[in-house]
Amino acid sequence: EVPLVESGGGSVQPGGSLRLSCRASGFTFRSDWMAWVRQAPGKGLEWVANIKEDGSERFYVDSVEGRFTISRDNAESSLYLQMNSLRVEDTAVYYCTRYNDITEGDSFDIWGQGTTVIVTS
Amino acid sequence: IQLTQSPSFLSASVGDRVTITCRASQGQGLRIYLAWYQQKPGKAPKLLIYAASTLQGGVPSRFSGSGSGTDYTLTISNLQPEDSATYYCQQLKTYPLGFGGGTKVEIK
């Protein structure tokens, strides 16, 4: 069983919107921070957003603040990323990941396979 | 916190020992928030090491991490063909949670 499965990627015009989803299984989703990380074609990894276990705290990279919204539904073990006002530079593979913040040290320890977002006119 | 990895590319032979460096712009209290990942083409990143030196379960013991303050290293001893990948360091101490630029390791 794959612990994180993303969906919702696709091709959209600049200014458009997409909603990414990530379904979790095999761990206690409601007890964990979650995050989105993206990777533009041929580029490195970029953290996009985090959300606390209960959704009460959210953090974003500056370049998406005000345009993207991270959310979660613990009853459905699902993570979401609502992306509005999309720009060409948002083109990337978007990964859902578990943010494991434990006493011994933090990490992104579980990753989905990624979903591709292409913003093009 | 900005992370600078070096080198950006390295080529080594099977059996070699390779070292990748990650330098942070600020280092106070960073050690437990420093992680290393391996990414192969077309695949998701995989956690190798967290807290600078703790090996994630299932990761071969030829991978090791060390460092403190602003300077950290990932070492692969006895390099294997399957280690061909790009390696990233990451800091999870302050927002934005940044990654280093990556080091591509090629097997000669």
CB contact, 8 Å: A63 with chain B? Answer: no
CB A95 to CB B37 under 8 A? no
Lay out the sheet containing B3-6: strands in order across: B3-6, B18-24, B71-76, B63-68
Whole-number average pLDDT of chain B: 97
Tokens 């390779």 -> residue: B18
Neighbours of B18 (CB within 10 A): 18
The mean pLDDT value for A4-26 works out to: 97
> Which secondary structure element, helix H or strand E, spans residue A38, and what is its range?
strand A33-39
CB A45 to CB B88 under 8 A? yes
pLDDT of A98 reads 97
pLDDT of A102 reads 85
- Tell me the three state secondary structure of residue B81: helix
Beta bridge partners of A20: A81
Q: What is the pLDDT of residues B25-68, one digit of tens each?
A: 999 999 999 999 999 999 999 999 999 999 999 999 999 999 99
Cα A73 from Cα B36, distance rounded (Å): 29
% of chain B beyond a pLDDT of 70: 100
Q: Is the peptide bond before A14 cis (omega within 30 degrees of 0)?
A: no
CB A111 to CB B45 under 8 A? yes
Best B1, B33, B92, B103 member to test A by mutation, with max A CBs in 10 Å, is B92
Residues 99-118 of chain A with CB under 8 A from chain B are 99-101, 104-109, 111-114
pLDDT of B49 reads 98
DSSP state of B83: G
- A–B CB contacts, 8 A cutoff, strictly below: 68
